[in-house]
Copies of this chain bind each other. A is one copy, B any other.
Amino acid sequence: MDGPPPPRVPTLADVAARAGVSTATVSRCLNAPDRVQKDTRDRILEAVKHLGYSPNFGARALAAKRTDTIGAIIPTMDNSIFARGLQAFQTALVDHGMTLLLASSSYRRDLEETQIRTLVARGADGLLLIGHDRDPALYDFLARHTVPVLVSWVFDPTQPRPSVGFDNRQAMAEMTHRVLAQGHRRLATISGYTSDNDRTRDRVAGVRDAMAEVPDCAPLNVVETRYGIETGARAFAQILAKTPETTAVICGNDLLALGAMRQARTMGLRVPQDISITGFDDMEIAVIADPPLTTVRVPHGDMGRQAASMLTEMVRSGTTPDTVALPCEIMERGSLGPAPRS
Contact = CB atoms under 8 A, between A and B. Distances in A.
Interface string A72-84: 0000111110011
Nearest to A121: B54
A62 interface: yes
A255 interface: yes
Contact of A57 (B61, B91, B103, B262): B61
Interface in A63-99: 63, 65, 67-69, 76-80, 83-84, 86-87, 90-91, 94, 99
A23 interface: no
Q: Which 9 A-B pairs have CB atoms at the shortest separation, nearest pair first?
A: A58-B61, A58-B62, A57-B123, A77-B87, A77-B83, A83-B83, A102-B102, A80-B80, A285-B285
Interface of A: 7, 9, 52, 54-63, 65, 67-69, 76-80, 83-84, 86-87, 90-91, 94, 99-104, 106, 115, 117-123, 141, 144-145, 228-229, 255, 258-259, 261-262, 284-285, 287-290
A78 B258 CA distance: 19
A102 B84 CA distance: 14
A104 B87 contact: yes
A101 B100 contact: yes
Given A54-B117, A76-B87, A78-B80, 4 more contacts: A54-B120, A57-B122, A77-B90, A94-B118
B78 A87 contact: yes
A52 B94 CA distance: 32
Contact of A104 (B63, B90, B284, B288): B90
A193 B86 CA distance: 24
B77 A123 contact: no
